[in-house]
Amino acid sequence: MEKPIVNYESLIRITKAISMIRDPEEIVLITVEGVTHALNVKGCALFLFSPKSDELKLASSFGLSDEYLDKGPVNSMRSIASSLESGEPVAIYDVTDDPRIQYPEAAQKEGISSILSVPMVIGEHITGCMRVYTTDPWEFTLNDVNFVQAVGQVVGMALEMCRVNKGLKDSIDILKTMRDPKTLKSKKRTPYEGVPKTFTKEELAETAV
């Protein structure tokens, strides 16, 4: 699969869409669909960390089946734990042959080959993570990682503002104000509206002629 070239325009248009919204449901919808289309991958999911249960609670996803999302609780100590422990991105090239994957059989059945996990950090606290899923084996480039990190930082801050404005104690409480993540639908626009088109190297070459 031809990798798209993600540029500053992609980041600007996604973050601009996020900045115009105050509803956490809309924020996570715009984010997961925007990242999926910008990178031209299978899907994307956003999780919030629950310190009480040490679980990653699904806030929203795009491109993933309900069956995969219902595979079981995502334990922060078993599911790519090194990303949350270090606060750094972690890329999994082969989900079928990596001990850091909690549900390798479910991932394989879903048609997932590679995963990029990027923590969302606010100050000194990890509030959750964004995960990118690919159908083909994918060697994530520094450009890929930086892009997802930047979007993750923006959406993390946006959700933090929602938490403060709603007077919530913890980031995970935002989930209590939202509907079931698997049934979320945009109330104001389609999540993809305003998100950039991706370009391959060949398409960029054509536009430059």
194 pLDDT more than 50: no
pLDDT at 168 over 70: yes
Closest CA to 129 of 63, 61, 65, 39: 61
Kindly tell me if the per-residue pLDDT of 5 is higher than 70. no
* pTM of the predicted protein model: 0.82
Distances (CA, A) of 104 to 68, 135, 159, 178: 11, 14, 30, 29
**Domains along the chain with CATH numbers:** 8-186 (3.30.450.40)
Predicted pLDDT of residue 151: 93
* Lowest model confidence (mean pLDDT) among 31-45, 69-83, 85-99: 69-83
Cβ(153)–Cβ(87) under 8 Å?
no
CA atoms within 13 A on the CB side of 113: 11
- With beta carbons less than 8 A apart as the criterion, state whether 140 and 3 touch: no
In the predicted model, is pLDDT for residue 81 greater than 80?
A: no
The amino acid that residue 63 corresponds to is G
Q: What does the pLDDT average to over 155-177?
A: 84
C-alpha distances out from residue 188 to 14, 26, 93, Å? 16, 8, 36
Quote the mean pLDDT of the chain. Answer: 82
Q: Determine the average pLDDT of the residues in 55-81.
A: 87
Question: Does residue 111 have a pLDDT over 90?
Answer: yes
Q: Where does the pLDDT of residue 116 fall: very low under 50, low under 70, confident under 90, or very high at 90 and above?
A: very high
Token readout for 16 is 């601009």
**Which residues, in sequence order, are CB contacts of 185 under 8 Å at separation 6+?**
29
For 73-81, what is the mean pLDDT? 77
Out of 23-37, 101-115, 131-145, 161-175, pick the least confident.
Answer: 161-175
